[in-house]
Amino acid sequence: MIRSLFRAPIFSPLGFVRWAIVTSIPFVIAHLAGLRQYTSILSLTIPEGTPGQLAAWYAGFYLIAYVAFTLIAPTLLIAACVYALILRSFASLRMTSS
């Protein structure tokens, strides 16, 4: 299963699942690294002991990874499910028409 996941074409259900996983990895890394605390820069509060520019970069990376994790990854998973259902329905139509 994992081997077929990495060899799947980009525009296939497994390809969409692969890209959903790939877009989730930066968020998991950023969250485990504790970058969430740097999003306080949005309210103009810089975490103590961190230069402002570095805090801005951390916050920017975390926010981009968060948006990818909450918007792009679920959309890719839904697209994979819909695409798989469409492929399955066309396959069953071919079998019944033959």
| Residue 7 within any structural domain of the chain | no
Residue with tokens 């994992």: 2
| Residue 14 within any structural domain of the chain | no
| Residue 83 within any structural domain of the chain | yes
Q: Cβ distance 12 to 76 under 8 Å? A: no
Domain span holding position 29: 20-97
Amino acid at 19: W
Predicted model pTM: 0.78
Q: Measured at the alpha carbon of residue 10, what is the angle toward residues 8 and 84, in degrees to the nearest 5?
A: 75
User: How many domains does the chain contain in total?
Assistant: 1
| Residue 2 within any structural domain of the chain | no
Q: What is the pLDDT of residues 28-77, one digit of tens each?
A: 999 999 999 888 887 878 888 888 888 889 999 999 999 999 999 999 99
